[in-house]
């Protein structure tokens, strides 16, 4: 079990290392290379359509993995296919030379990436014991901010050509996936489990049924708001540095690496404590609430930043908020699952709350830029999303946990 959990955490991290620098560094730079004068519009359109595909594919692939019966289990075949498709999608992103080709390449990448993430999310609910949920959730909470920090550093210090960057990210993802697939204890589902009836998975109203559970609705809604705030902050951070902090910092990519590194220090300061004392962390709701409050305050300060030092301090606080919320996010989601049989589908629904903001944020950015608002307005919007999450999270009922393992 220890080897499996280590391999699981490794591939979860590698998946996001393969995502974060692509969306935060490579894709924005590529959009600027296609048309410097329309880079925001090109990027926003690609991210919007990519997010719609991500939302649909995450849900569908999660549900299909529930029904998959093979000698390799339910989840592993989809994870393996997703890794190979992601490597191919890197080539598509690199070769895109027109706005239309760029949009399609981002769509392809989103489809491939979610073929990895959807079954991986279900593995958490399938295999992680209830007593370890806070610990593993905390370690998984490190995945995205660590991926941002590592990815930003790799972009600043590693290969400086786009093909070289994709080759590096692809090698890391492939290595982690091989380790996980070889160490996964998932049994032969074709022999141990009866198939889920097709009509129960795809019947009318199946996607609405989980929302009848109060805790599921609360966790899903709060995650949507948090993820929308994250999208505003991370998707346009490079533009924030180049536009709002113009002249106050040096090379944008290196300052991006500095900010994300400081933010990660804030994340790890919280999540390390939760990971160490995970078995004692029962009240995951309170940690999530504290994190949302800190995120709101930090993002408001960041939107008002006019100097590099002030921005770095605000981003350090932002990291603390990310750590508090992220350290219990997966555990809170698993606690609120309405049924054990449809974990892949329901975790896919939960992941919709992360993929939909990738469409919401670009739409909001386009709307704000047409009114003449600058990039700072996006950070004000992020702060509003975080305070909305505080209100919603207060409705969670700790005594109404639906699924136990």
Residue 1 binned pLDDT confidence (cut-offs 50, 70, 90): low
| pTM value surpassing 0.75 | no
pLDDT value of residue 391: 92
286-332 tens-digit pLDDT: 888 889 999 999 999 988 888 888 889 999 999 999 888 888 887 77
The better pLDDT of the pair 282, 136 is held by 136
Of the candidates 145, 175, 125, the residue with the CA atom closest to the CA atom of residue 16: 145
pLDDT (0 to 100) of residue 258: 85
Predicted local distance difference test score (pLDDT) of residue 84:
92
Over residues 207-243, the pLDDT tens digits come to 677 787 888 888 889 989 999 998 888 878 888 888 7
Say yes or no to pLDDT of 172 above 80.
yes
CATH placement of domain 2-393:
1.20.1250.20
| φ/ψ of residue 205, rounded to 5 | 90, 0
Are 393 and 218 in contact, with CB atoms under 8 Å apart? Answer: yes
Give the SS3 label for residue 189. helix
Which alpha helices (DSSP H) does 128-247 contain, by range?
Answer: 133-141, 143-157, 162-183, 189-192, 198-202, 214-235, 237-239
pLDDT at 157: 79
pLDDT of 92-121, one tens digit each?
999 888 888 989 999 999 999 888 888 887
The pLDDT, as a whole number, for residue 205 is 60
């Amino acid at each position: 079990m220890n080897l499996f959990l280590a391999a699981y955490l490794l591939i979860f991290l590698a998946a996001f290392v393969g995502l974060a620098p692509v969306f935060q560094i490579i894709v924005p730079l590529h959009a600027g290379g296609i048309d410097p004068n329309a880079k925001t519009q090109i990027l926003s359109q690609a991210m919007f359509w990519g997010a719609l595909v991500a939302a649909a594919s995450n849900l569908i692939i999660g549900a299909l993995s529930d029904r998959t019966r093979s000698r390799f289990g339910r989840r592993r075949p989809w994870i393996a296919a997703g890794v190979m498709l992601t490597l191919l999608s890197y080539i598509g992103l690199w070769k895109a030379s027109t706005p239309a080709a760029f949009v399609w390449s981002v769509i392809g990448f989103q489809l491939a990436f979610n073929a990895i993430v959807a079954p991986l999310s279900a593995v958490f609910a399938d295999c992680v014991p209830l007593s370890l949920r806070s610990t593993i959730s905390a370690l998984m909470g490190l995945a995205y901010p660590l991926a941002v920090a590592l990815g930003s550093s790799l972009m600043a210090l590693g290969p400086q050509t786009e093909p070289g960057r994709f080759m590096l990210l692809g090698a890391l993802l492939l290595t982690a996936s091989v380790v996980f697939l070889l160490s996964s204890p998932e049994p032969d589902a074709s022999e141990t489990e009866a198939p889920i009836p097709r009509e129960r998975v795809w019947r009318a109203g199946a996607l609405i049924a989980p929302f009848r559970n109060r805790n599921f609705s609360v966790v899903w809604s709060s995650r949507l708001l948090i993820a929308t705030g994250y999208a505003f902050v991370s998707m346009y951070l490079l533009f924030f540095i180049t536009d709002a902090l113009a002249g106050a910092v040096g090379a944008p990519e290196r300052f991006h690496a500095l900010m994300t590194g400081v933010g990660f220090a804030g994340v790890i300061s919280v999540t390390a404590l939760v990971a160490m004392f995970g078995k004692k962390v029962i009240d995951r709701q309170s940690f999530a609430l504290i994190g949302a409050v800190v995120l709101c305050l930090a993002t408001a300060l960041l939107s008002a930043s006019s100097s590099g030092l002030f921005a770095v301090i605000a981003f350090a606080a932002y990291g603390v908020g990310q750590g508090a919320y992220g350290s219990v996010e997966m555990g809170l989601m698993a606690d609120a699952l309405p049924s054990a049989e449809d974990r892949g589908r329901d975790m896919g629904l939960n992941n919709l709350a992360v993929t939909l903001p990738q469409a919401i944020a670009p739409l909001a950015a386009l709307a704000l830029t047409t009114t003449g608002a600058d990039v700072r307005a996006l950070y004000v919007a992020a702060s509003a999303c975080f305070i909305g999450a505080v209100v919603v999270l207060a409705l969670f009922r700790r005594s109404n946990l639906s699924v136990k393992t």
